[in-house]
Structure 1
Amino acid sequence: MDDREDGGARRRVGLVLGAHWGLLAFFAGIAGYYLVNLTITVLMNRHLGEFDPLELHDIGPLLLLAFLPNLLLGLGPVLGSRRWGAGLRADFGLLPTWRDVRIGLACGLLALVAGFALNLLSIAVYGTDDVTDSPLTDLADTYRGDTGWLVLAAVIVVLGAPVTEELLVRGTLWNGLSWYRIPPWAVLALTALVFAQLHGEPTRVLALFGQGLAIGLARHLSGRVGAAVVAHAANNLPPAVFLFVGTGDFSLAAH
């Protein structure tokens, strides 16, 4: 591609303050997530005392409120794509094809294996007491209410979180980094690192990073976010199923 063609391609991409729109959408999604999370925490602490959204004994409907910050992760990419991009289908390939499903399932299995192995390594290094459980463990251990809310939690874990998180990380951030011709292996590693840090679980960062690499591999091989969503959902499915039996290793879930 010569300079004129390259310049034309860059002009066709929606730029915001001289940068690829995906980067703005990424930071907008992150900012919305933390802002809403902080607001909900302050309001709930004021009215309900110390609030844990996964403590669903008497406040099952607040599960929807607890998911609201996560929804903001995907809202930035959606609005950015509509305003400056070419639309969700062209920018992300969000709707999985059969090829996406095959790649996603294979990478999802790889993510499960990687998460399990790296979590065992973390336990060996830090000890069982110092490696925190996934929030799903607390949900399974404490919930004693209407099973309907547990079903909703499983749907969010398997479908909701994968869509919003993949739109943010393997969607806008991936596209923005790739537009600057950053090597694919570096994009894969950087997005996996952001994915791990996003969950805010320091002792599980290594396992989450490994899972992020496996899920990102689906995006790399297919060139589409839909495959990453399938991989993420496949990785989260077994822990979500274990919600109903109250046993199992919830640390495999990337939420």
Structure 2
Amino acid sequence: MREEEHSPAARDGLVLGAHWGLLTFFLGIGGYYLLSLVLAAVVLGGGAKFNSLQLTGLGPLVLLAFVPNILLGLLPAIGSWLWGRGLRVDFGLLPTARDVKVGLACGGFALLTGYLINLALIGVYGVQRLDDPLNEMFGGISASVGWLVVAAIIVAVGAPLAEELLVRGALWNGLAHYRVPPWVILVLTSLVFAQLHGEPTRIVALFGQGLAIGAARMITGRTGSSVIAHATNNLPPALLLFIGT
């Protein structure tokens, strides 16, 4: 869509009086929770049917848990296309060489941060309460290598892309539009990132990892770098699926 085809409000990034990034953030996160509730109701409502399935047949069912994540990235992408200047301009989604270098460094630091904080939290919660949620979720599809490969791709690529478009993309851009200081945006987006995962015992570690991943976005000014950082952070857990399950 050419710039002259946009309305003046759209060119200013405003929709219904607010920046489109904030609008798509709230729509995305609202849709995420709503669809999660719907899917949970469907699964629980068919409990007898699902309980009769063989464990190796649970792949499609377990992967339904990731369907709501699509909305996290889809709404910002649609908003960028309708009211913004496209994914490459609004988010800097296509990584540059610098994005890759910064992303890998920040992703590695996120891994180290998460490891050290979780190590400290073992003394508070114990080992059992800090078990890897991915291994718990995919334990039933251990006999299906194909589904594990799909799950690993989602964890290492799909989830980082969707979450970064929402948090370090739409929300970050919306807050920046209102001249919120970058360090405040970094903290706020890290809090949202930690809360989004719904893991109370790991929320401190997730917040620390969010700061490291968000640092890539703050350093480069591009979401592409935070996608690389997030994917780097998620890659080892994704590979460990094949060992842990």
TM over 0.5: yes
CA contact under 8 A between 1:132 and 1:201: conserved in structure 2? no
Between the aligned partners of 2:213 and 2:184, the Cα distance in structure 1 is 15
1:177-196 matched pairs, under 5 angstroms: 177-196=175-194
1:99-248 matched pairs, under 5 angstroms: 99-129=98-128, 131-139=129-137, 141-246=139-244
Please tell me the residue identity of whatever aligns with 1:168: L
RMSD: 2.1
Q: What residue in structure 2 maps to residue 253 of structure 1?
A: none
Q: What residue in structure 1 maps to residue 90 of structure 2?
A: 91
CA contact under 8 A between 1:44 and 1:50: conserved in structure 2? no
Give the SS at the match of 1:57: helix
Between the aligned partners of 1:106 and 1:202, the Cα distance in structure 2 is 27
Gaps of 5+ in 1: 1-8, 248-255
Q: Size of the alignment, in residue pairs?
A: 236
Cα pair distance change 1:181/1:140, threshold 3 Å: same
Between the aligned partners of 1:15 and 1:207, the Cα distance in structure 2 is 35
The worse-fitting range, judged by mean Cα deviation, of 195-204 and 14-23 is: 14-23
Between the aligned partners of 1:244 and 1:95, the Cα distance in structure 2 is 30
State percent identity of aligned pairs. Answer: 61
Cα pair distance change 1:80/1:50, threshold 3 Å: farther
Q: What residue in structure 2 maps to residue 252 of structure 1?
A: none
Gaps of 5+ in 2: 1-7
Displaced runs of 4+ in structure 1, greater than 6 A?
none
Which deviations, in whole Å up to 9, do the C-alpha atoms of 1:107-145 show, x marking residues without a partner? 00000000001111222233334x342321214544332
Please tell me the residue identity of whatever aligns with 1:162: P
Between the aligned partners of 1:215 and 1:190, the Cα distance in structure 2 is 13
Q: What residue in structure 2 maps to residue 14 of structure 1?
A: 13
Cα pair distance change 1:236/1:16, threshold 3 Å: same
TM-score of the pair, normalised by structure 2: 0.90
Q: CA deviation at 1:66?
A: 2.3
Q: What residue in structure 1 maps to residue 57 of structure 2?
A: 58
Between the aligned partners of 2:156 and 2:58, the Cα distance in structure 1 is 21
CA contact under 8 A between 1:58 and 1:145: conserved in structure 2? no
CA contact under 8 A between 1:119 and 1:204: conserved in structure 2? yes
Please tell me the residue identity of whatever aligns with 2:32: Y
Between the aligned partners of 1:236 and 1:49, the Cα distance in structure 2 is 34
Between the aligned partners of 1:230 and 1:107, the Cα distance in structure 2 is 9
Larger fraction in helix: 2
Cα pair distance change 1:56/1:72, threshold 3 Å: farther
CA contact under 8 A between 1:115 and 1:208: conserved in structure 2? yes
TM-score of the pair, normalised by structure 1: 0.86
Q: CA deviation at 1:94?
A: 0.8
Between the aligned partners of 2:224 and 2:179, the Cα distance in structure 1 is 22
